[in-house]
Amino acid sequence: MKAHLLATSFVSLASLLAAQDPVACYDFDSDDVVANPSTSASASDLVISNDYMFGGPWGDGWLCLSTAWNNVGGSISWTVTPAPGNTLDFTRLSWRAVTQNASMSDSVDAVDVYVDGNLVATIDPLTHLTTHSIDLSVLPDMRRRSTPVSFQLVFDGNPTGQSSYEMNDLCVEAAACVEDLASEGRIIWLNPPGSNNTTTYRVLDGVGFSENGDGTAHLVGAVVDVNDPCKRFSLDLTLSGRSDPTDPSYPPAGSPKTNWLVVNNGVDTGEWRYYQNMTGTLTGQICLQGAVLQLTRRGESFQIGEGANLKDLSFGASSWFDYTVISQADDPACFIPDGGVGDFNLTLGNDCICIGGDPASVTYYGAGLPGCAGVPEFEFLDRPLTSSEMRIRIGNNGTQTMVCGVLWSFAPDDLYIDLLGGNILISLAQYITTTPIAVPPGGVIFPCHFGDDACSSELTFYAQTWCIDPCGPRGLASSVGAQVDIGDV
């Protein structure tokens, strides 16, 4: 028997896991070792080192590792490559052991799991009618991965094995992004107590939803009032108490929650999964700065699956919740009544980079070059939040209007060079642009807007102001530089 190795990975002997985004899934229904098609990634065919066959009922194929594995064991290897231009947060590797004859021992009895050539977990013993799950999210280099990931299962043979080891639904999963901005498949409702005045919040691009190998899930990102983008929350929701179709107590009491869409279209709610526990917060941003709402489950369990968002037939999630106001917004005009209810209706997919939970920040560097009135002032007055407007101030302590340019670049900061005694925002073979601006005495403030589609924009950029100034070196003065990291919290 092998000792469990849990140094870098959590191993869960859980029930059947339906993939949140099955970027590489082998169901063996067609009696082959080819992955199901995925728009998020490509997967190699499985390379199996010992004798195997296929079995199982129609529509539920099995891969069977024959008794040829008894003495020498063997391995199953494959590689998953994110689609060109795609970046994935890998979350889980799982497969279902479907051997049903408990009176007979199998051809293999333990497995070592390798990711990128590193041993991350050992499962010993391999049990029947169980889904084995490896949490990939805790491993290094699994977040925002754009390069191939290799996987290998190395099985120990069982010399006394009497039957083949049977498995199916071998899947690699990645975090899903909340998507579908244009429809009502991506909304959160807030209803104050005793009121029909529902406020609708839309979920911004890149909000991340991840389901973890330990039976928990996490939804994190930002939401904004559809009628007033200044009213914005950062959302941080943790789910636990997962319930899957093979659990003895499935579905949880009171679930599922259905509607006419589900009933009229014959949606199979028996394929949905649930999270019975919910804790979370909505933390105010911009106009709602200072507000904190605590969220708890209301009614049916948080449900996930095809049609589970109750808005369309796509893969999604929904749940009701109660909210308690922990603190009010700093602005009295943004008062939030306590003790209300809310509703999630989310469409889930993987069409973008999930930036959910990334902090927005501005970091200044360098000393700048002084001119007649000193070093030009350069300041970001607001945090660089997605789908928001950030004000930028350029100061002028002199008496004459200055002709300046704001330089922008998306190059790594280690490519910047020193020039004329200051850190100038110039880099070789990198994109750079200049925005000319006249700066009157006292300075000027101008806006910089970040769009909704953060998934297709640069998430980090650099900026610096240079001005024509007769007192500066070679007639130039410069501000300090700024590294701007766009985020949603």
Q: What is the per-residue pLDDT across 403-436, written as a single tens digit (0 to 9) for each?
A: 988 877 764 444 344 333 344 444 433 445 667 8
Amino acid at 64: C
Backbone angles phi, psi at 69, to 5 degrees: -80, -10
Query: Is residue 383 within 8 Å of 436, Cβ to Cβ?
Result: no
What are the strands, taking DSSP E only, across 244-383? 273-286, 292-306, 315-327, 340-349, 361-365, 378-380
pLDDT level of residue 8 (50, 70, 90 thresholds): very low
133: number of CA atoms within 13 Å, CB side? 23
Retrieve residue 131's tokens.
């889904």
CB contact set of 211 (below 8 Å; sequence gap of 6+): 17, 20, 91, 92, 173, 175, 217, 242
The domain spans of the chain are 11-174, 176-349, 361-485
CB atoms within 10 A of CB 107: 28
Task: Work out the angle at residue 261's Cα, subtended by the Cα atoms of residues 255 and 262, and round it to the nearest 5 degrees.
Answer: 40
CA neighbor of 242 nearest in space, from 271, 209, 210, 214 = 214
| Average pLDDT score over residue span 46-74 | 91
CB contact set of 251 (below 8 Å; sequence gap of 6+): 243, 269, 272, 274, 301
Please state which CATH number belongs to domain 361-485: 2.20.130.20
Query: Is residue 189 within 8 Å of 219, Cβ to Cβ?
Result: no
Q: Is the pLDDT of residue 1 over 50?
A: no
Task: Work out the angle at residue 144's Cα, subtended by the Cα atoms of residues 140 and 145, and round it to the nearest 5 degrees.
Answer: 70
For residue 253, the model assigns a pLDDT of 93
| Average pLDDT score over residue span 160-186 | 73
Architecture in CATH of 11-174 = Sandwich (2.60)
CB atoms within 10 A of CB 313: 13
For residue 92, the model assigns a pLDDT of 86
Identical fold at 11-174 and 361-485? Answer: no
For residue 196, the model assigns a pLDDT of 73
Q: Is the pLDDT of residue 204 over 70?
A: yes
Average pLDDT, the chain: 80
For residue 296, the model assigns a pLDDT of 94
Query: How much of the chain exceeds pLDDT 90, in percent?
Result: 32
Q: Is the pLDDT of residue 15 over 60?
A: no
Give Cα separations from 49 to 66, 68, 151, 271 (angstroms).
12, 11, 14, 33
- N-to-C CA span, the chain: 47
Query: How much of the chain exceeds pLDDT 70, in percent?
Result: 83
Unique residue bearing structure tokens 């636990």: 240
At 444-474, the pLDDT tens digits run 988 777 665 544 444 677 788 889 999 988 8
